[in-house]
Amino acid sequence: MQRIGVFVCHCGTNIAATVDVKTVAEALGHEPGVVISQDYQYMCSESGQNLVKNAIKEHNLTGVVVCSCSPRMHENTFRKAAASAGLNPYLVEIANIREQCSWIHKDIASATEKAIILGKAAVAKVHLNAPLTAGESPVAKRALVIGGGIAGIQTALDIAEAGFEVDIVEKNPTIGGKMAQIDKTFPTLDCAACILTPKMVEASQNEKITIHSFSEVTDVKGFVGNFTVTIKKKARFVDETKCTGCGLCTEKCPMKKVPNEFNMGLDNRTAIYIPFAQAVPKVATIDPNYCMMMKTGKCGVCSKVCSVGAIDYKQEDKFIEQKYGAIVVATGFNPIKLDKYDEFAYNQCPDVVTSLELERLMNAAGPNGGTLLRPSDKTHPHKIVFVQCVGSRCDDSKGKPYCSKICCMYTAKHAMLIREKYPDTEVYVFYIDVRTPGKNFDEFYRRAVEQYNVHYIKGMVGKVTPRSDGKIDVQASDLLANEQLHIDADMVVLAAAIEPDKTARPLATMLTTQMDTNDFFTEAHPKLRPVESATAGIFLSGACQGPKDIPETVAQASAAAAKAIGLLVKDSITCNPCVAHSDELMCNGCSSCEKVCPYGAITYTDKEFKMPDRTIAVRRVASVNPAVCQGCGACTVACPSGAMDLNGFSNSQIMAEVDAICK
């Protein structure tokens, strides 16, 4: 038999002025199971709490109902009070008779009547409350960072700084990502390599950080604090532990006509290669698609010249398995492919380039040693047209609906750098809008216009036509002057939209995290939890969550690190006990619940059951991982048989409330 205590708070006059608290206490005292019903001036005060605690002990209460302010205000207060008196804190229910009653009603009679009904509902619910215990789950003290660009590097460094082991998984032979390809950074125009490469070295030298370059995540199991991840270390045919990065092999390799991805295919590399001089790890990699030895079995030059015997043509992919407490996704972005943009003649004319290609063309370590030359004839361009929003803010299926955010600023940077270095070059920028929010950004853009005389024209480029004289005809509209323009350009630079890396979607599936329709990872809350995914223990760093510039990326990377550290520093995590659970005897194994779970908390196992007809049957049944479940209850409604229920908000509890209210 239940022994329930009801405690009605006056809240000074906040409640008592419009609700007749004595009548409420009296009425609730007649409810079945209620053994004590009291009112008090301030229930949340120490003496009020003592009233509750003493009643719990004295009357051996099995449930407590506090009629007071919103549970969002003092539910925890009274739960703690109950716990200190030896009653399970989840046997406390709050009837909200202040915010949802006394404060909104003026008529004492109807407010009192409503307060009684709300109290009855809470009593009806508490009858069915079960004691709940928050479970604990241990935390593996190691983080995984997926992606070794500036976001991943920064996150890893910050986590390592806090004293935790971090692994970086990078799919390319070197970490560094897009930032390594960039020449200068806006708005300060400092050299990207100068600020990035020290961080790369720092990461490689930090003993807490392990870099798995040329590797991929192939499987993720487990949940927050307890992920088991399989990492594929792709065969690079060079023993990483032996290679000193001397580079002799890359000099001697006879296969020299391999498009160099690092320079956006603007020059060539050898079949055995180190992506760039400051690569980390500085280890050679053999490209099996081009290596003569691998393709024909005849060559072996690199093996002969390698003094440490690091070359291993027979090397195979290796899989390693590691436990992690937290995972940070930093998979970054890529410019979109421009194949569909025939109007810009990108595929027809080598002098129509993307902005990232321009970065390489202007970079001292790039194909032309830093001198800006047209790719077609290696001559100096005198007129350059920049086209903004190529594929960004696009309504059609060719492009992306969103703003890529960084293009306005890097185009201003490119324009400014070109005008600075080659004052005889005319620069035109066609834009829809110039978007420069950010510290010192608008000043930067204005400098480009005012100091460097870059011609900014509001309008879209309609067609780019390479001419036989080597010039490029750019046909565009000037929306402000309302006229059609033709510009004889030497080069055209396209600000291609950026999109999440292609590896992000399969990764999201493995991680059971959510993505938006553009394949950007979805944050747990767009305002308040911007660096966490909805899946506990998975954090988001950098452009995988949305377009970002470098300072924003680094800020988010550090924020993600802080969140990960906050998790790793705990020995175990306390789970919310108000989670879903499945009654195996009723579960159909139909997977409906799994489909609506935003956290991937539900898994299925085949289990043997003694069936009602005395037979033994193997049935597929759902189980909820209480450490992962956040208790939304979506599964409880998706479940047709009612096998899935939610602690603290069970079907019977909610229906008891409905009944009491409608009584």
Partner 1 sequence: MQEAMINRAKQLLADGTVDRVIGWKRGEFAYDITPAVFRSAEELDADFVFDDFTSANVSKYLVKESKKEGKILAFLKPCDTYSFNQLTKEHRVVRENVYIIGIPGGPKLDAEKIKAKGITGILGVKNENYTLKIETVYGEETMPYYEAVLDKCASCKSKKHVVFDELIGDDGEVLESNRFEMVEKLENMTAQERFDFWRDQLSKCIRCNACRNVCPACTCEKCVFDNPNSGVENKAPADSFEENMFHIIRAFHVAGRCTDCGECSRVCPQNIPLHLLNRKFIKDINSLYGEYQAGEDTTSRAPLNDYKQDDCEASIVHERGVE
Partner 2 sequence: MLKISIDKLDALFEAISASQTLYIPADREDGSAEYKKYESGMKLSNALNTVRSAKDFFFPQTENLVDFKMEGKNIEVIDIREESEDFVIFGVRACDARSFTILDKVFLSEPVDSFYKNRRDHGTVVTMACTRPAETCFCGTFGIDAAAPEGDAACYSDGESIFFEAHNDKGQKFIDSISSLLEEGDTAKLDAVRDKTREILKKLPLAGISTESFGGDKLMEHFNSEKWAELSESCLGCGTCTFVCPTCQCYDIKDFNTGHGIKRFRCWDSCMYSDFTKMAHGNPRLTQLERFRQRFMHKLVYFPSNNNGEFGCVGCGRCLSKCPISMNIVKVMKALEVK
Partner 3 sequence: MQVNENKEFQPLIVAFCCNWCSYAGADLSGTNRLNYPSNVKIIRVPCSCRVNPMFILRAFQRGADGVILCGCHPGDCHYTSGNYFTRRRMTLLFSMLDFLGIERDRTRVEWVSAAEGAKFAATMNEFTEAVKKLGPNRRLEDLRCRKQ
All residues at 6 or more sequence positions from 278 whose CB lies less than 8 Å from its CB, including other chains: 176, 180, 193, 197, 200, 201
Q: Which residue(s) pair with 515 in the sheet?
A: 521
Structural contact between residues 328 and 145, judged by C-beta atoms closer than 8 angstroms = yes
Residues 581-620 interacting with partner 1 (rule: CB under 8 A): 585-592, 595-596, 604, 617-620
**Pick from 96, 263, 404, 582: which binds partner 3 (CB under 8 A)?**
96
The verdict on 632 binding partner 1 (CB under 8 A) reads no
Binding partner of residue 111 among partner 1, partner 2, partner 3, none, CB cut-off 5 to 8 Å per kind: partner 3
Binding partner of residue 633 among partner 3, partner 1, partner 2, none, CB cut-off 5 to 8 Å per kind: partner 3
Please list the alpha-helical segments (H only) found in 85-210.
108-128, 150-161, 192-205
Return d(Cα 600, Cα 640) in angstroms, integer: 19
Helices (H) and strands (E) in the chain, counts: 17, 36
Q: Which is nearer to partner 1, 295 or 620 (CB)?
A: 620
**Pick from 7, 10, 19, 31: which binds partner 2 (CB under 8 A)?**
31
The verdict on 104 binding partner 3 (CB under 8 A) reads yes
Burial of residue 424 (CB within 10 Å: 0-12, 13-18, 19+) is exposed
Structural contact between residues 270 and 281, judged by C-beta atoms closer than 8 angstroms = no
Q: How far is the CB of 513 from partner 1 (least distance, A)?
A: 17
Q: How far is the CB of 518 from partner 1 (least distance, A)?
A: 12
Q: How far is the CB of 3 from partner 1 (least distance, A)?
A: 23
Q: Which is nearer to partner 3, 189 or 658 (CB)?
A: 658
The verdict on 528 binding partner 2 (CB under 8 A) reads no
SS3 state at 325: coil
The verdict on 655 binding partner 3 (CB under 8 A) reads yes
Token pair in block for residue 626: 């209480």
Token pair in block for residue 644: 């899935």
Q: Closest Cα to residue 511, out of 532, 528, 525?
A: 532
Q: Closest Cα to residue 360, out of 266, 269, 279, 491?
A: 266
Q: How far is the CB of 589 from partner 1 (least distance, A)?
A: 5
Q: How is the chain split among helix, strand and coil, in percent rounded to 5?
A: 30, 25, 45
Structural contact between residues 86 and 131, judged by C-beta atoms closer than 8 angstroms = no
Binding partner of residue 630 among partner 2, partner 3, partner 1, none, CB cut-off 5 to 8 Å per kind: partner 3
How far CA 638 is from CA of 325, 446, 591, 621, 646, in Å, comes to 30, 56, 9, 15, 12
Structural contact between residues 186 and 578, judged by C-beta atoms closer than 8 angstroms = no
Q: How far is the CB of 32 from partner 2 (least distance, A)?
A: 6
Q: Which residue(s) pair with 477 in the sheet?
A: 484
Q: Closest Cα to residue 319, out of 221, 238, 237, 212?
A: 212
Binding partner of residue 534 among partner 3, partner 1, partner 2, none, CB cut-off 5 to 8 Å per kind: partner 3
The verdict on 612 binding partner 2 (CB under 8 A) reads yes
Only segment of 25-33, 133-141, 383-391, 599-607 that touches partner 2 (CB under 8 A): 25-33
The verdict on 30 binding partner 2 (CB under 8 A) reads yes
DSSP symbol at 515: B
Q: Which is nearer to partner 2, 30 or 257 (CB)?
A: 30
- Backbone dihedral angles phi then psi of residue 569, each to the nearest 5 degrees: -70, -15
Residues 623-662 interacting with partner 2 (rule: CB under 8 A): 659-660, 662
Burial of residue 614 (CB within 10 Å: 0-12, 13-18, 19+) is exposed
Binding partner of residue 589 among partner 3, partner 2, partner 1, none, CB cut-off 5 to 8 Å per kind: partner 1
**Pick from 132, 246, 432, 654: which binds partner 3 (CB under 8 A)?**
654
Only segment of 14-22, 297-305, 434-442, 639-647 that touches partner 1 (CB under 8 A): 639-647
Q: Which is nearer to partner 3, 114 or 171 (CB)?
A: 114
**Pick from 216, 359, 501, 657: which binds partner 3 (CB under 8 A)?**
657
Only segment of 112-120, 234-242, 498-506, 600-608 that touches partner 3 (CB under 8 A): 112-120
The verdict on 642 binding partner 1 (CB under 8 A) reads yes
**Pick from 321, 488, 571, 659: which binds partner 3 (CB under 8 A)?**
659
Q: Which residue(s) pair with 617 in the sheet?
A: 609
* Number of CB atoms found within 10 A of residue 478's CB: 13
- Quick note: the x/- pattern for partner 1 over 543-582, rule CB under 8 A, is ----------------------------------------
DSSP symbol at 521: B
Binding partner of residue 614 among partner 2, partner 1, partner 3, none, CB cut-off 5 to 8 Å per kind: partner 2
Only segment of 27-35, 143-151, 431-439, 586-594 that touches partner 2 (CB under 8 A): 27-35
Q: Which is nearer to partner 1, 47 or 605 (CB)?
A: 605
Burial of residue 564 (CB within 10 Å: 0-12, 13-18, 19+) is buried
Only segment of 26-34, 204-212, 301-309, 544-552 that touches partner 2 (CB under 8 A): 26-34
The verdict on 613 binding partner 2 (CB under 8 A) reads yes
Count of residues of this chain found to bind partner 3 when the rule CB under 8 A is applied = 49
Return d(Cα 32, Cα 16) in angstroms, integer: 25
Q: How far is the CB of 659 from partner 3 (least distance, A)?
A: 6
Q: How many CA atoms lie within 13 A of 144 on its CB side?
A: 30
Return d(Cα 472, Cα 469) in angstroms, integer: 8
The verdict on 651 binding partner 3 (CB under 8 A) reads yes
**Pick from 32, 470, 506, 640: which binds partner 2 (CB under 8 A)?**
32
Q: Which residue(s) pair with 273 in the sheet?
A: 285
* Number of CB atoms found within 10 A of residue 273's CB: 24
Which stretches of the chain bind partner 2, using CB under 8 A?
A: 30-32, 612-614, 659-660, 662-663
Which stretches of the chain bind partner 1, using CB under 8 A?
A: 517, 585-592, 595-596, 604, 617-620, 638, 640-643, 651-652, 655
